[in-house]
Amino acid sequence: MTDWSSQQNTLKARRAELMGEIAGIEDALDDPAPKDWEEAASERQGDEVLTALGIHDAAEIRRIDAALARIAEGSYGTCVTCGAQIGAARLDTLPDTPFCISCA
């Protein structure tokens, strides 16, 4: 059985980083709306950017969780589409990818 501990550590570290980012985003979104109209408009715009960023982060966390689950069940490193082995270099760069280079 392949030892995926380095990928596992990378995935866990990235997950912790994303969780911290999401917590920061939620704090920023909780800020009370400013009274000034112009300021309120730019705050709303900022909130949209923050929300989009949060959605992006949440999607990455789901991919990381899925990858960690594949490590746990022993299917990690195998393409979910064609069943081919995913290259080690590819897994080093994209540890959360479930696809081999030809299915990506």
Residues binding Zn ion (CB under 5 A): 79, 81-82, 84, 100, 103
Residue 79 has what DSSP assignment? -
- One-letter amino acid at 22 equals I
Shortest reach from residue 7's CB to Zn ion, in Å: 18
Shortest reach from residue 103's CB to Zn ion, in Å: 3
The H or E element that residue 4 is part of is none
d(CA 13, CA 97): 16
Shortest reach from residue 75's CB to Zn ion, in Å: 13
d(CA 85, CA 45): 44
Which two tokens mark 17? Answer: 């980083």
Between 6 and 81, whose beta carbon lies closer to Zn ion?
81
Between 54 and 77, whose beta carbon lies closer to Zn ion?
77
